[in-house]
Amino acid sequence: MKKLLLVSLILFLFNTADAQWYFGTRMADMPEPISNNAVVEGWANDTAYVYSFGGIDTTKIWSGISLKSFRYNTVTDVWDTIPDLPNTLENIAMGASWVDSIVYIMGGYHVLSNGNEISSNIVNRYDPRTNTYLSDGANIPVPIDDHVQAVWNDSLIYVITGWSNSGNVPDVQIYDPANDNWLTGTPVPNSNSYKAFGASGAIAGNTIIYHGGASTGFNFPAQAGLRIGQINPTDPTQITWSVSTPNSAFKTYRAACSFEMFGPSVNWLGGSDVSYNYNGIAYNGSGGVQPKNRNLWSPVGANIDTANYSGEPLPMDLRGIAHIPLSGARYIAGGMEQNQQVSKKTIRLDYALWPGIKEINPNSFTLFPNPTVDLVNIIFKNQKNRIILLTDVLGNEILRIENKEPSLQLNVSNYPKGIYIIKVESEEGSSSQKIVVQ
């Protein structure tokens, strides 16, 4: 009965939800700015880390591509340098996945001094527990870069479409880490509605979902298509493909993709809506590309739409996101900010989905920072006698203060992480705003 009540409550929350949010908080900076780097999570000695492999530096030219690798301790908020990738050629546009205690870094491309690009067939294997690279895995049958890379059932790594040396390919290549071999999946249809480079996606249950990217064609146009593949669980090489009606307002290129099991939903964060070369300059000749500071989402199997985002501005040129299930946090590391500035920022993303909470007259006072970890400052527009209430999202009163000063500082560090409501009541009426405690 308790389980039934819990499920009923969760379903109620999701069915009445009218707001979905990601909150971005800046954490410790990376050792140096890096973009187009493969980012993934991993564990060592019960500590969750964020890993960054390869990428391009602030020069944004071929010689700025490196094998450098770094890791971030999510407990101590500290980055350090780990051994370089053990490759002969430096790569960007790789993918990375964590399966059964090992990180697998796949594909990518190398840029020669004459501008020619070489797609990679290398599978690097990194053990977070020993901070060492193992021998390479079996070569990728079709060299690939800027592909969609996602894990099914914590066992198989799907490498979906992408660019191979001279063009987009429809291949679905499936790596079996346990047996170190490759399987051939049902390819995506051989059309620009499906084939893409710079797309991103995830696997939710037995459903592959990927969005955006660029297609072969004049100036490699950015795409808005949401493609869905249903995996046959009895034969995971068999996939049934379909595409939703694209909304042209929602194009993504090199965005970060996150799957949320509560909902469930897939989110695309940051990226751009114009395709560009590794230097951040648009293929269509319009000049430097700017990132889109937005959060797009799709309930599994449904069309894509906008969702809410607040906090640290999101970059573009992202090749992965680190998922930390125990905390529910996601991490973005590096990328390109406004004016194609290569970033060294680490952004922690916290996800929230809750019943409809309406802010009332939010302009009657301001509060900052939001999100916060300890202190929140409240600045009032008028100096009146007032009552300040702090409640949780269910309306339970946590704190009540009487005040008539022009400002107030609250210490919320002792409260559990989550979403709260600050409500101000006076003779003029009431007003409220949401605050996130991290």
Together in a domain, 256 and 177: yes
Together in a domain, 374 and 265: no
In a domain, 3, yes or no: no
Contacting residues for 124 by C-beta, under 8 A, at least 6 apart: 53, 85, 86, 87, 104, 105, 106, 133, 136, 137
Q: Among 306, 323, 353, give the residue marking a domain's end.
A: 353
Region 28-50 average pLDDT? 95
| CA–CA gap between residue 137 and residue 52 (Å, rounded) | 19
Region 78-107 average pLDDT? 97
Lowest pLDDT segment from 19-28, 145-154, 229-238, 268-277: 19-28
CATH number at residue 298: 2.120.10.80
Res. 359 pLDDT band, cuts 50 70 90: low
What is residue 327's predicted lDDT score, i.e. its pLDDT?
67
Closest CA relative to residue 74, chosen from 331, 256, 259, 315: 331
Amino acid at 343: S
Res. 116 pLDDT band, cuts 50 70 90: very high
In a domain, 9, yes or no: no
More confident residue, 381 or 79: 79
In a domain, 4, yes or no: no
What is residue 146's predicted lDDT score, i.e. its pLDDT?
98
Together in a domain, 156 and 263: yes
pLDDT at 30 over 50: yes
Average pLDDT over the chain reads 89
What is residue 11's predicted lDDT score, i.e. its pLDDT?
37
Together in a domain, 245 and 387: no
Together in a domain, 293 and 266: yes
Question: For residue 41, how many C-alpha atoms fall within 13 Å in the half-sphere facing its CB?
Answer: 22
Query: What pTM value is reported for the model?
Result: 0.80
Structurally, the chain folds into a number of domains equal to 2
pLDDT at 15 over 50: no
Q: Among 353, 383, 417, give the residue marking a domain's end.
A: 353
Together in a domain, 37 and 141: yes
**CA-CA-CA-CA dihedral for 360, 363, 369, 372, to nearest 10:** -10
More confident residue, 108 or 407: 108
What is residue 358's predicted lDDT score, i.e. its pLDDT?
55
Alpha helices in 186-267 (DSSP H): none
Contacting residues for 280 by C-beta, under 8 A, at least 6 apart: 60, 288, 289, 316, 317, 336, 340
pLDDT at 4 over 60: no
Region 25-46 average pLDDT? 95
In a domain, 166, yes or no: yes
The DSSP string of 319-383 is: B--EEETTTTEEEEE--B-GGGPBP--EEEEEEEEEE-----SGGGEEEESSSBSSEEEEEESS-
What are the percentages of helix, strand and coil residues in the chain, rounded to 5?
A: 5, 50, 45
Give the domain extent around 114.
Answer: 19-353
Together in a domain, 334 and 308: yes
| CA–CA gap between residue 227 and residue 44 (Å, rounded) | 35
CATH number at residue 424: 2.60.40.3080
pLDDT at 382 over 50: yes
| CA–CA gap between residue 296 and residue 306 (Å, rounded) | 4
Together in a domain, 52 and 106: yes
What is residue 260's predicted lDDT score, i.e. its pLDDT?
78
Together in a domain, 213 and 286: yes
Amino acid at 42: G
Strand ranges in 207-283 using DSSP code E only, listed in sequence order: 207-211, 226-232, 235-243, 256-260, 265-269
Q: Structure tokens of 298?
A: 């799709």
Q: Which one of 141-145, 260-264, 323-327 scores highest in mean pLDDT?
A: 141-145
In a domain, 267, yes or no: yes
pLDDT at 90 over 80: yes
Together in a domain, 127 and 179: yes
- By CB neighbour count within 10 A (0-12 exposed, 13-18 middle, 19+ buried), where does 5 fall? exposed
What is residue 397's predicted lDDT score, i.e. its pLDDT?
84
Res. 18 pLDDT band, cuts 50 70 90: very low
What is residue 13's predicted lDDT score, i.e. its pLDDT?
38
For the segment 283-321, what is each residue's pLDDT rounded down to a tens digit?
999 999 999 999 998 887 678 888 888 889 999 999 999
Together in a domain, 26 and 93: yes
What is residue 9's predicted lDDT score, i.e. its pLDDT?
35
Q: Among 336, 353, 370, give the residue marking a domain's end.
A: 353
Together in a domain, 311 and 420: no
Res. 361 pLDDT band, cuts 50 70 90: low
What is residue 351's predicted lDDT score, i.e. its pLDDT?
75
Res. 2 pLDDT band, cuts 50 70 90: very low
Share of the chain above pLDDT 90, in %: 64
Give 426's strand partners.
Answer: 386, 429
Region 182-195 average pLDDT? 97
| CA–CA gap between residue 353 and residue 10 (Å, rounded) | 11
